[in-house]
């Protein structure tokens, strides 16, 4: 189904790894809605080769960039400028924590790993926008999005230092959003998505229980990745021009629910 919501719009999509990735679904939906974009991911992710399939299906170029490297990002934006001139949207769909991967408990964090998690999962959002702003590459009313999770607001055991990374990510969206909006009318938001079965999601300790609990404790149930992609498309479109500096929950009502009857029934 296409409504040409993104006809003529150009962008960069970071973070499509395989067909489970939220960014993969965003790329598919953005393409259906008429957008053109560059797909970017870390060199190690590109070596897996799966992104070629998505690039072919969406007529996109792939440009390798480790988001912790300013040099890589400057090269990516140079290629984007040569290809498209100006951009209308950017998706930051990136997260990684070595403390999570190595199952190191939150209270016993390794700080080198902690710094790495902040750099890849949050500070990279600032780095991407800093380069975009310096290059003045975004069109007015352009839209920049990052994906977040409710562990930024609520303590969720197992989410580990990614909770802190998401809190920082959401703060960067607000603060950078102020300056980018004031100076260039560019809007910046985060979408706080339900637990979703992806490579990054699956790495979280207790992910299956978290997924089941959130499913039961949301009046609408967990939001699927493809619906998150639809929300991203809407946020890139001209129908959301005055939405900026927000953390937008896309979670079937989970964030506003204390307790569902379903969960109460389990307790009984
Ligand atoms: N899956 C969930 O339950 C869930 C819920 C809410 C938010 N999110 C967020 O959605 C985003 C996308 O995750 P996903 O669930 O689609 O998983 P995913 O594993 O498919 O995507 C994570 C991506 O980050 C990329 N990445 C890691 N290190 C990088 C680096 N140094 N440079 C560039 N790219 C790098 C990976 O290659 C991968 O493509 C993340 O920000 C994640 O935290 C996920």
- pLDDT above 90 covers a percentage of the chain that reads 94
- Give the pLDDT of residue 203: 87
Tell me, what's the pLDDT at 131?
98
Element (H, E) at 88: strand 87-92
201-233 per-position pLDDT tens digit: 888 889 999 999 999 999 999 999 999 999 999
Residue range 54-73, pLDDT digits in tens: 999 999 999 999 999 999 99
95 Cα: distance to centroid of ligand 1 (angstroms)? 4
Which residue's alpha carbon is nearest to atom 44 within ligand 1?
Answer: 201
Around ligand 1, the residues with Cβ closer than 6 Å are 15, 17, 21-23, 41-42, 45, 66-68, 93-96, 120, 147-149, 193, 195-196, 198-201
Q: Name which residue sits closest to atom 11 of ligand 1, judged by CA.
A: 93
Q: What is the mean pLDDT of residues 105-124?
A: 98
Give, using CA atoms, the residue closest to atom 36 of ligand 1: 15
Query: With 90 as the cut, is the pLDDT of residue 27 above it?
Result: yes
Rounded mean pLDDT of the chain? 97
Ligand 1 centre to CA of 139 (Å) is 26
pLDDT on residue 175: 98
Mean pLDDT of 10-33: 98
Cα(199) to ligand 1 centroid in Å equals 8
Joined tokens for residue 167: 């809190």
Query: Domains plus CATH for the chain?
Result: 10-267 (3.40.50.720)
Residue 122 Cα to ligand 1 midpoint, Å, equals 11
pLDDT at 1 over 80: no
Is pLDDT of 240 > 90?
A: yes
pLDDT tens column, 79-106: 999 999 999 999 999 999 999 999 999 9
Q: Looking at residue 268, what is its pLDDT?
A: 87
Q: Put the strands of the sheet holding 36-41 in their side by side order.
A: 61-64, 36-41, 10-14, 87-92, 138-148, 187-193, 247-250
Mean pLDDT of 192-198: 96
| Å from CA of 267 to ligand 1 middle | 34
For residue 20, count CB atoms less than 10 angstroms from its CB and return exposed for 0-12, middle for 13-18, buried for 19 or more: middle
Task: Check residue 118 and give its pLDDT.
Answer: 98
> How remote is the CA of residue 108 from the centroid of ligand 1, in Å?
24
Strand 36-41 with 61-64, pairing: parallel
Are 155 and 163 in contact by the 8 Å Cβ rule? The answer is yes
Full DSSP string of 27-69: HHHHHHTT-EEEEEE-HHHHHT-THHHHHHHHT-EEEE--TT-
Is 85 in a helix, a strand, or coil? coil
* Ligand 1 atom with least separation from CA of 44: 37
Tell which atom from ligand 1 comes closest to the C-alpha of 207.
3
The string of pLDDT tens digits covering residues 117-163 is 999 999 999 999 999 999 999 999 999 999 999 999 999 999 999 99
């Amino acid at each position: 189904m296409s409504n040409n919501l993104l006809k003529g719009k150009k962008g960069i999509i970071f973070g499509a790894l395989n067909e489970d990735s939220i960014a993969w679904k965003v790329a598919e939906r953005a393409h259906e809605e008429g957008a053109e974009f560059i797909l970017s991911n870390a060199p190690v992710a590109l070596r897996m080769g799966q992104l070629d399939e998505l690039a072919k299906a969406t007529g996109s170029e792939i440009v390798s960039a480790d988001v912790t490297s300013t040099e890589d990002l400057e090269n990516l934006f140079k290629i984007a400028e040569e290809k498209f001139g100006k951009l209308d949207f950017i998706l930051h769909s990136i997260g990684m924590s070595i403390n999570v991967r190595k199952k190191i408990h939150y209270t016993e964090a390794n700080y080198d790993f902690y710094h790495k998690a902040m750099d890849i999962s949050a500070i990279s959002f600032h780095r991407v926008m800093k380069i975009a702003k310096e290059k003045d590459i975004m069109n007015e009313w352009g839209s920049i999005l990052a994906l977040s999770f409710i562990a930024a607001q609520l303590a969720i055991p197992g989410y580990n230092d990614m909770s802190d990374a998401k809190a920082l990510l959401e703060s960067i969206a607000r603060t950078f959003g102020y300056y980018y909006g004031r100076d260039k009318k560019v809007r910046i938001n985060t979408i706080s998505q339900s637990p979703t079965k992806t490579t990054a999601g699956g790495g979280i300790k207790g992910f299956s229980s978290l997924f089941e609990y959130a499913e039961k404790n949301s009046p609408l149930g967990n939001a699927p990745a493809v619906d998150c992609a639809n929300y991203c498309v809407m946020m890139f479109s001209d129908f959301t021009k005055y939405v900026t500096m927000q953390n937008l929950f896309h979670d079937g009502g989970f964030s506003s629910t204390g307790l569902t009857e379903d969960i109460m029934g389990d307790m009984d």
